[in-house]
Amino acid sequence: MTSVRHFLDLHQVSKEDLRTMIDDGLAVKSARAGRPKGTKDDDMSLQGHTLAAIFEFPSTRTRVSFDMAMRQMGCDTMILNSNDMQLGRGESVADTARVLSRFVDAIMLRTDDHNKLLELSKNASIPVINGLTNDSHPCQLMADIMTFEEKKGSIKNKIIAWSGDGNNMVSSYIHAAGQFDFELRIACPKELAPDPRAMEWAKNTGANVHVTEDASEAAAGADCLVTDTWVSMGDDAGDRHNLLSPFQIDEKLMEKTASDAIFMHCLPAHRDEEATAAVMDGAQSVIFDEAENRLHAQKAVLRWCLGNGQ
């Protein structure tokens, strides 16, 4: 029996499979270059599959890119708001997993508590995909790696600098640094430091990850500067704006990076908070290519999850 391929976190998928997915994402993107968005891909090997995409938090990119990815591959998506499901009034995650496994071919979940994702995957007999939890956002990282490599070639041994909140995106960047062999420098206030579990994983695996409270130190000579919102879904704003203002990415900080460095942000963005409008909309920003690449990267993730034994 073929084991089910869940896409839960980057450190739980082999380096080889992650590399294959990035290359597949780049290939499927170039294969449909210039085609109208409504047309189907040439490779329709997944035709007939249905994804249940469950949202417990809002989403624009994840929702639309998963749905369009499935449509272009000749497949279908059910977008499910958990409040409209029995899940929203107490049915267990485990029973939801068992029932959906009888109807659809894969489940994507966006939720607050990562344990719900784990519980879903333990009880599903079909692939489960992490569409963001409070702990991590691996699908976004697949799009980020793709975007970096499109602009600057192999990410191996390159320097990526993060300046901002040590949030769920940072945990996935830490996993990515180990799995794709790049140097990651994280600048953040000590009060908003990265998840110790991700840092422990980095230490145990020898991933090249450094944390500093000095944004200029992190940015010096970097090939990419990246950030995210200061207030993630489920966070209280609290004192975050004060704590994070020294980590704002502005043109002065961009000047510290390599002259051909790029700026990335998973979006949604708050101009003149985590990064100035001049940076977000400047010549080095690749944020909308990055957003588009959610579509192509997710096709690769879906093809990996569904491609074998289904």
Which residues lie near ligand NVA (CB under 6 A)? Answer: 132, 137, 167-169, 228-229, 232-233, 266
Residue 75 contact among ligand NVA, ligand CP, none, beta carbon within 5 to 8 Å by kind? none
Residue 60 contact among ligand NVA, ligand CP, none, beta carbon within 5 to 8 Å by kind? ligand CP
The residue among 93 and 231 lying less far from ligand NVA, judged by its C-beta, is 231
The residue among 60 and 81 lying less far from ligand CP, judged by its C-beta, is 60
Separation between Cα atoms, residue 141 and residue 21, nearest integer Å:
12
Catalytic residue among 32, 265, 294, 296: 294
The residue among 211 and 231 lying less far from ligand CP, judged by its C-beta, is 231
Query: Contact at 8 Å (CB) between 217 and 243?
Result: no
> Per the structure block, which two tokens stand in for 89?
């009034």
The residue among 20 and 232 lying less far from ligand NVA, judged by its C-beta, is 232
Tell the smallest beta-carbon distance from residue 293 to ligand CP (Å).
11
Q: Is 228 a catalytic residue?
A: yes
> Per the structure block, which two tokens stand in for 193?
């430091």
- Binding residues (CB under 6 A) for ligand CP: these are 59-62, 132, 140, 266-268
Tell the smallest beta-carbon distance from residue 167 to ligand NVA (Å).
5
Q: Is 266 a catalytic residue?
A: yes
Residue 228 contact among ligand CP, ligand NVA, none, beta carbon within 5 to 8 Å by kind? ligand NVA
Which residues does the annotation mark as catalytic?
110, 137, 140, 228, 266, 294
